[in-house]
A and B are shown apart, each in its own frame.
Chain A
Amino acid sequence: MNSFLNVLIGLAIGLNLVALGTGRLQALIRVVALQGVILGCVPLLIKPDFNIIIWAFTLITVLMKGFVIPSLLRWASRAANVDRDVTPMIGFVPSLLLGSAGMIAALMLSFQLPLLPEHHGSLLVGGSMATIITGFLLLVGRSKAIAQICGYLVLENGIYLFGLLLVHSIPLLVEAGILLDLIVGIFVAGIVLDRIQRTFDSLDTRKLNILKE
Chain B
Amino acid sequence: MQILHFLSLVFELLISLVVWLLLAPLLPGIVNKVKAWVAGRKGPRLFQLYYDLAKLWKRGVVLSDLASPGFIAATAVSWIAVLAAALLIPLGPVNSLMSFSGDALLLLYLLALSRFCTSWAALETGSAFEGMGTAREVSFAILTETALITAVLTLALKSSSLTLSLMLTPTPGAGTLLLISGLFAALLAESCRVPVDDPNTHLELTMIHEAMILDHSGPLLAASLHGAAMKLLLFSVLLVKIVLPLDELSGIESTLYLIAGIVLVCIAVGLVESFLARYAFKKVPLFLTTAFLFCFFALLTAWKGFAQ
Contacts and interface: CB of A to CB of B under 8 A. Distances in A.
Interface of A: 10, 17, 21, 23, 92-93, 96-97, 100, 104, 107
A21 B307 contact: no
A93 B289 CA distance: 7
Contacts of B306: 107
B39 interface: no
A100 B293 contact: yes
Interface string B285-304: 11001100100110010000
Contacts of A104: 300
Given A10-B307, A107-B306, A96 B293 contact: yes
- Chain B: interface secondary structure? helix
B45 interface: no
Contacts of B307: 10
A100 B290 contact: no
B296 A93 contact: no
Interface in B203-227: none
A30 B174 CA distance: 25
B283 interface: yes
- Chain A: interface secondary structure? helix
Interface of B: 174, 283, 285-286, 289-290, 293, 296-297, 300, 306-307
A96 B283 contact: no
A19 to B, nearest CB: 13
Given A96-B293, A100-B293, A107-B306, A21 B300 contact: no
A96 B286 contact: yes
A107 B307 CA distance: 12
A23 B283 contact: yes
Given A93-B285, A96-B290, A104-B300, 16 more contacts: A10-B174, A10-B307, A21-B286, A21-B290, A23-B283, A92-B283, A92-B286, A93-B289, A96-B286, A96-B289, A96-B293, A97-B293, A100-B293, A100-B296, A100-B297, A107-B306
Contacts of A97: 289, 293
Contacts of A23: 283
Nearest to B296: A100
B248 to A, nearest CB: 27
Contacts of A92: 283, 286
B293 A17 contact: yes
Contacts of B293: 17, 96-97, 100
Nearest to B289: A93
A17 B174 CA distance: 17
Contacts of A107: 306
Nearest to A17: B293
Contacts of B289: 93, 96-97
21 contacts: A10-B174, A10-B307, A17-B293, A21-B290, A23-B283, A92-B283, A92-B286, A93-B285, A93-B286, A93-B289, A96-B286, A96-B289, A96-B290, A96-B293, A97-B289, A97-B293, A100-B293, A100-B296, A100-B297, A104-B300, A107-B306
Nearest to A123: B306
Contacts of A17: 293
